[in-house]
Structure 1
């Protein structure tokens, strides 16, 4: 079932979760152990992130080094199939530009269509660790909107090889990312929203936001999007703070601000256990306010902290 259909058919705020594939070498039980406690909340869908390969150098016997590409968290497509089979819940695999050619993307979309997966979240993805700024894969996409257009083409039965005939159309519901505090590469929020409007006009059916810790920024963002003519659902993305080091890491990596009340409360904590209590309560209050405002979905970035998310969601469902 498509995400947009879940939203349109709901008579209340839905809940969804986002997970990481486990590190290479771990089995599917790592996913089930992570998700099992959360399934009592009947999530409408579960997002599974995609991760590009990292360049590493392996030392050879003669002392020379060979460059190899290593994907530390593979398995997105397989995990999505397992979630569908094990839980009967709709998965939403992420598609990213970084590290993939158009041909590889097309093959992944064909695999997803064969599995009966109806949804994708289209993202540019981050720059590789060895890149000062994002660089497209040779033969790949530079911008998320171009990746989105490839998915739209697949939905229309248009493939890279023009001679492909008598093909069926896919039926992917396409989501994209939004940034209440703007994408760090955009010069301002209005420009950032104009990029989002272009993606919606190209075929995106809903938006999932980057994490934020001040609901006012989400509400302002939605208002600005509506003024710009963006009418699709905008789902708030939510994450708990569970350690002191995140006070510095999250603003640096994700370019988000922490409200003064939150950062002051965290600074007073003597341990990460105390931080987790503060972060859980903050996320709970965020969730209650957003639900009261009638947001379509509360989308939680679980990212290794399913117990914290469980403690929050049990209070609001």
Structure 2
């Protein structure tokens, strides 16, 4: 079922995002997370994808060899396993980084074959150590280009000429939004203009980056509506868990932390106390957002369910 068909006026859905385990681990870690959160009736689950890392390996002859390393399994198999075991709709991430257009087409064909018709289309991060984004040869430089490719397939237009008579796909496409702007955008207005290009290309809903001040989300939605963006905008939340996140989250994600949250975390004796602060803060955020009728609360679990489980119990139990 398409995610956009699930959104109902006045009803806030529960959703969360999973981080695939590192290679060498098994899917039980994912099943454990889902098993703990399933009682709260998640409407859908996002499965992240992380681009390759590039390492320089010294060969026996002394020369350096560039080696591409993928540290986590892909999303197609994980999404299929979740659907088969739990019957919960999934929205696997598709990224531009590290993939050619033909790689993306192959992934979309596999997802369509498995009956998975929701995807989150993202540009993805830079290669670690590089300051600017570099697409793979034959790949897309921007998420709007990825959205356009998916929409072409929805119209039955494939890159592979042998598939010219293939059945059209029917993907529902989500994209990312940034209430405090993307780190590379010069300002929020420019970032919203870029978001509109993704919507105009065919995306049908938005999932926001994490935020800790609901006022920023509400202002962002208003600014998007003023720019002509009418699709649902899902609120992305992440429970605070450690003191190091006071500097890590603003630095990594460009988010601003409210003074009250900063003071509460700084006064904690240890990270166990920080987790309690994070849980209570997310519950307060969630209650206000639900009261405002947001389409869904999307929790970034980072592969751990215990804190999100407690939040979901309060908000959706």
Give the 5 Å matches for 1:274-313. 274-313=273-312
Correspondence for 1:236: 235
Q: Report the Cα distance in structure 2 between the residues aligned to 1:67 and 1:33, rounded to whole angstroms.
A: 36
Q: Which moved further from structure 2: 243-252 or 66-75?
A: 66-75
Instruction: Give the superposition deviation at 1:164.
Output: 3.2
Q: Which residue of 2 aligns with 1:3?
A: 3
Report if the CA contact (8 A) 2:100-2:140 is conserved. yes
- Contact 1:200-1:230 at 8 Å conserved across structures: yes
Report the Cα offset of residue 303 of structure 1. Answer: 0.6
Q: Give the direction of change, closer, same or farther, for the CA distance of 1:12–1:166 in structure 2 (3 Å limit).
A: same
- Number of paired residues? 316
Equivalent position of 1:167 in the other structure? 166
Q: Which residue of 2 aligns with 1:29?
A: 28
Distance between the aligned counterparts of 1:184 and 1:101, measured in 2? 25
Other structure's SS at 2:150 match: helix
Deviation of 1:59 after TM superposition, in Å, equals 3.8
Could you give the per-residue CA deviations for residues 32-62 of structure 1, whole angstroms, max 9, x where no partner exists?
Answer: 0121100001100000001111011334445
Alpha carbons 1:300, 1:309 under 8 Å: kept: yes
List per-residue Cα deviations over 1:128-173 (Å, max 9, x = no partner).
1131111111110000000110000111110113453321000000
Q: Secondary structure at the match of 1:66?
A: strand
Contact 1:15 1:298 in 2 (8 A): yes
Match of 1:215 in 2: 214
Shift of 1:199: 1.1
Structure 2: 5+ residue stretches without partners: none
Q: Is residue 20–residue 303 contact of structure 2 (8 Å, CA) maintained in 1? A: no
Residue matched to 2:11: 12
The separation in 1 between residues aligned to 2:97 and 2:152, in whole angstroms, is 20
Residue 130 of structure 2 corresponds to 131
| Equivalent position of 1:205 in the other structure | 204
Matches within 5 A, 1:44-123: 44-123=43-122
Q: Does structure 1 residue 245 correspond to structure 2 residue 244?
A: yes
Cα separation, 2, equivalents of 1:47 and 1:249: 23
Inter-partner Cα distance in structure 2 for 1:176 and 1:267 = 34
Structure 1 runs not aligned, ≥5 long: none
Deviations 1:159-200 (A, max 9, x none): 113453321000000000000001111111111111111111
